[in-house]
Chain A
Amino acid sequence: MEWYKLIAVAALFICIMVFAIQFIRLIKLGVPKDLSKRDGDVKGAVIYSFTNAMAPAQKESAYMHLPTYAAGLVYHMGTFAALLLFVLLMIFSFAGIMLPVFISTVVSGAFLFTSLSGIGILFKRILNRELRSLSGFDDYISNILTSGIQLVSALYLLFPSVEIFYFLTSALLFIWLPLGKTKHLMYFFFARFHLGFFYGWRGTWPQKQH
């Protein structure tokens, strides 16, 4: 295996290990220990937290900011797809499978689009005075790396000559994922769980009926 692929795989391994440690730690802690008397449907609330409560109509962060919300959605889909692509490319590399040109072109186009969404969000952060005041290096690095991997994926699918650049960018992303705010990749799910637990315990979600 080429040195840059080895670096990328090692970085992915480190990334998975760090996330796994954090994940196991949180799972081990279990559900919050609440000594008050439950007055609602926690399970229903947790399900609601991951489903209807995520609907754009339920959140001002979505329906009051539709362009940003839509860009964010596309951007996140692109990030997940880029992570999946890396794994697939490694498998294909071992199995000697080549992606058909048509598929490569379509997927590349999709990545170009998703990366532009990420870059758009980055520009918003740079141009908006208030967002800028909220931001630090982490915010810029996280965006550049996640938008970057999508852009580089798009290029790599069309121009295999950028292979080294692709794998090194991937390696950087994998190292950064559990360090920067990108770690919300995992914490997001726990946050939604706790949100559901909190509102469910008190009967806010689903609304308690007497």
Chain B
Amino acid sequence: MEKIDKEKREKAIDLLRSKSDSKLITHLNSCVRCGLCAGSCMYYITMKEAKYIPAKKIDLVSSIYRRYCTLAGKTVPALVNAKDLDESMAEEMIDSLYGSCTMCGRCVKHCSIGVDIPYIVKKGREMLATMDMVPKTLQATVDAAINTGNNMGIPTVEFVDTIKWMEEELIDEMQDDKARIPLDEIDKDIFYTLNPREPKFFPLSISAMAKVLYAAEASWTLSSKYYDVTNYGFFNANMAEATQIAKNLYDEIHKLRGKRLILGECGHGSRANRWDGPNYLKKAYDFDTITAVELIGGYIRDGKIKLDKSLNKELYTIHDPCNLVRNGGMLEELRFVVKSSVANFIEMNPFGNDNFCCGGGGGALAMSEYNDRRLKIGEIKADQIRKTGAKVVITPCHNCVDQLLQLNHTYKLGVQIKTISEVVADALIIIKTN
């Protein structure tokens, strides 16, 4: 490993010296290393190694805090488990904080104290980002978003082509020229966003959502440049980059004078834009920000769309994206939409706020160096799915979809993976009005 630049190291340590962040000070001082969080972490459950215990991961960060930011740590470091931030510590941090934690937060709810473990993990990632130690694969994803406007680096021309193609398909299917997928239109009620995996790999999910919006007679638009709901700056924890990505979207909404930002089906994207975005930009948003799940839920509740559950006859189950459910409060709304759309439904065990992460969170999907580990921890999710006997797994997150598709293949589950808009679109009753 390269030697850590002294100045950057100091800047990294400075992140822990904050005297104004009550949450940081609290959580850095709260863990008692009881180790009882181990059984709540999918990494530990599947790998059974001490380095995967959540308390061990955050102790890397808090031991540095004690070393440089507390009197006891400065004077008698060994007594209070205070450690230097050196090359070997940084190496361990990279593997533990980027490669062994999806920041799903399952351990938080079950922690005997209530330590916000992902918060500390993210702070550790922020320290590594400050020292330019983000895994290259993850950094490349962030760079693509900064340089091209979307994390997959899809050229605008290619995106516009895909949207036009989907629009033609939708017009054909609906037999109506009004069944559009608007691009760059101003003064629309809805500014809709996508996970770039949709135009790249799953364009049918775009037309499914467009069908729902058509049925609801929504006034909406996509941007041809800044449509990306994701923010991998949330994962690499480079605050400047996370802020830039959030700002691009914020500015685009204003440019198109959108009234409501609808966060497409993406767990971390929803979290990064709805809960973290205003804090990155240091200003409250002057437009409403809700998820696609809530938008559809509202349409169902208001009678703007009609659904026929019998059109979805198979047995369905839900995979709860951590950032939408446990960290986003969407448990009930997601179930309302699903139960309105399918005839047969079964819960996983555990589910909801206790649900296990699929393994694709935390930027894991972008970090190919940890692929084996990611698929290994996904075994828990695969077992959960298998035990339900469901034929279709619904999840309102394209990163989860990607991981679940890989688990489906690896563990031979023989299920279909669908997004919420796809399931709702399948159940839609289109009422044509003249």
Q: Mark A53-76, 1 if CB is under 8 A from B, else 0.
A: 100001111101100110010000
B333 at the interface (CB under 8 A from A): yes
A204 at the interface (CB under 8 A from B): yes
Contact A62 B332 (CB under 8 A): no
Chain B residue nearest to A64 in the complex (CB): B39
A93 at the interface (CB under 8 A from B): no
Q: Chain B residues near A59 (CB, 8 Å)?
A: 109-112
Chain A residue nearest to B49 in the complex (CB): A130
Q: Mark B245-268, 1 if CB is under 8 A from A, else 0.
A: 000000000000000000000000
Give the distance in Å from the alpha carbon of A39 to the alpha carbon of B289 in the complex: 11
Q: Chain A residues near B35 (CB, 8 Å)?
A: 128, 130-131, 134
Q: Mark B188-209, 1 if CB is under 8 A from A, else 0.
A: 0000000000000000000000
Give the distance in Å from the alpha carbon of A181 to the alpha carbon of B21 in the complex: 20
B79 at the interface (CB under 8 A from A): yes
How many chain-B residues does the 8 Å CB contact rule pick out? 67
Contact A130 B331 (CB under 8 A): no
Give the distance in Å from the alpha carbon of A191 to the alpha carbon of B50 in the complex: 24
Residue among B19, B56, B279, B329 making CB contact with A202, cutoff 8 Å: B329
Known interface pairs A194-B116, A195-B108. Does A72 touch B34 (Cβ–Cβ under 8 Å)?
yes
Measured as residues with beta carbon below 8 angstroms from the partner, the interface class of chain A is 35 or more
- What is the minimal beta-carbon distance from A164 to any residue of chain B, in angstroms? 25
Q: Chain B residues near A133 (CB, 8 Å)?
A: 50, 56
Contact A138 B81 (CB under 8 A): yes
Q: Chain A residues near B56 (CB, 8 Å)?
A: 133-134
A203 at the interface (CB under 8 A from B): yes
Within 8 A of A (CB), among B312-371: 325-333, 336, 353
Q: Mark B392-406, 1 if CB is under 8 A from A, else 0.
A: 000000000000000
Contact A210 B294 (CB under 8 A): yes
Contact B332 A139 (CB under 8 A): no
Contact B40 A30 (CB under 8 A): no
Contact B34 A135 (CB under 8 A): no
Give the distance in Å from the alpha carbon of A203 to the alpha carbon of B31 in the complex: 25
Within 8 A of B (CB), among A174-200: 179-181, 183-184, 187-188, 190-192, 194-195, 198-199
Contact A36 B33 (CB under 8 A): no
Chain B residue nearest to A33 in the complex (CB): B279
Known interface pairs A35-B278, A130-B50, A210-B336. Does A204 touch B22 (Cβ–Cβ under 8 Å)?
no
Q: For the complex of A and B, list the 3 residue pairs with the smallest distance between their C-beta atoms, beginning with the closest.
A: A203-B329, A136-B81, A61-B36
